[in-house]
Structure 1
């Protein structure tokens, strides 16, 4: 079972002082979490101004440092269309990458996702399918994307706890019927991320936690950082 920590997303320190933005901060968080046993990470790397970027000359040196410092972990990057990023510009930037992350998340609801998937296949970088809805799951199956796929990331962005769990279960069942052996990782957003996580753990599915997804613990109290969120998750897992 994969338990992945998403360190930062597109958040800034205005949202939470513990968000790791610089490379040194990201290294510090990974170092702390690695000591707790975390092996899988999802990171949004930034430029010198703290903005997300896909440019090779900014990402390649950071990835080289991370893999040198932490050769025994898996580090995945995002491909989300942030801050007005177009599918065409994203494609051009990623085509120019001279490095290979362990995987890259591709949101199937975003335009250009299939073209990006094919590019990653040609570059030998396995995509992680970001599935937000049953429609995304149908796109995944229709295009036989499981033939070259790291895992399925089932992502629930509903305020209503019951609806988030219902749709996560619906998507999970649909994917499993198509490819039972394909690894699934589930996550939510905000306080409801805990309901999605607990539901997934009960089904023996993988989960994701971190400041990208939520700033609060199960109680609703603000978490001090990624380490506290991970420890909270592991406490819940041990109680199952």
Structure 2
């Protein structure tokens, strides 16, 4: 499965085609799905262009995307820095009226266990974001670990060998604990394409999009998210 991560917390100095508004995200989602994406990971934005978890903007964005690509699973980020930030970001999540299909929750964040319990209690899937061996060790000790949708191995290292070692260490912890959840693995910027290749080689799901990087495998700037998705699937078909 290839997931499209359309925007993240990036700004347009990273790429001019980065989608912000609900209508822009919906249009881009349709293009990404037409290019071959089978899931979407998005970061709703407020009128100021900043990431938000406020229910009105979450509802507006989810409804626009689902209208554009009915039946495609749509996930949101819940990361620590989304305003109002820290523990306070839980409050708007508790007021959501339109629910995503899943959310990503990073185990590096101090309230990860509480957020996972709340999200699962609302019937929303959880991607458990693991950045390191210590994140993996924390995850396998959670009582709700097996209830998650999948494990999300996120490689932030820019040195490829370091990134591959981190990924191997995380997988070793999961294997030792007997976890059999699906795995989605992805890189960031310099590691996007090497980690994508590693994920495919291991039979894992992966993701591609402007949240993670703006370059094609050739090193040229991508035209947008659909261009990145097409490039990823082209690598698979070779």
Same fold by TM-score greater than 0.5: yes
Kept after mapping to 2: 8 A contact 1:146/1:182: no
Q: Runs of 5+ in structure 1 lacking a partner?
A: none
CA distance in 2, matches of 1:236, 1:74: 24
Listed as ranges, the matches of 1:1-240 within 5 Å are: 2-82=1-81, 85-239=84-238
Scaled by the length of structure 1, what TM-score is found? 0.94
After superposition, the Cα gap between the structure-2 partners of 1:13 and 1:186, relative to the gap in structure 1 and judged at 3 Å, is same
CA distance in 1, matches of 2:58, 2:7: 16
Kept after mapping to 1: 8 A contact 2:146/2:179: no
After superposition, the Cα gap between the structure-2 partners of 1:121 and 1:90, relative to the gap in structure 1 and judged at 3 Å, is same
CA distance in 2, matches of 1:82, 1:46: 13
After superposition, the Cα gap between the structure-2 partners of 1:182 and 1:101, relative to the gap in structure 1 and judged at 3 Å, is same
CA distance in 2, matches of 1:85, 1:176: 36
Scaled by the length of structure 2, what TM-score is found? 0.94
Q: Runs of 5+ in structure 2 lacking a partner?
A: none
TM-superposition CA deviations, 1:154-198 (whole Å, max 9, x none): 001111111111211221232244345311001111121111110
Kept after mapping to 1: 8 A contact 2:79/2:105: yes
Kept after mapping to 2: 8 A contact 1:39/1:72: no
Kept after mapping to 1: 8 A contact 2:25/2:61: no
After superposition, the Cα gap between the structure-2 partners of 1:11 and 1:211, relative to the gap in structure 1 and judged at 3 Å, is same
Q: CA deviation at 1:86?
A: 3.1
Kept after mapping to 2: 8 A contact 1:100/1:125: yes
Q: CA deviation at 1:64?
A: 2.1
Task: Give me the CA root mean square deviation.
Answer: 1.5
Kept after mapping to 2: 8 A contact 1:191/1:216: no
Is 17-26 or 166-175 further displaced after alignment?
166-175
CA distance in 2, matches of 1:162, 1:7: 27
CA distance in 1, matches of 2:21, 2:184: 27
Q: CA deviation at 1:87?
A: 3.0
Give the ranges of 4+ consecutive aligned residues of structure 1 lying more than 4 Å apart after TM superposition: none
CA distance in 2, matches of 1:158, 1:17: 25
Q: CA deviation at 1:11?
A: 0.6
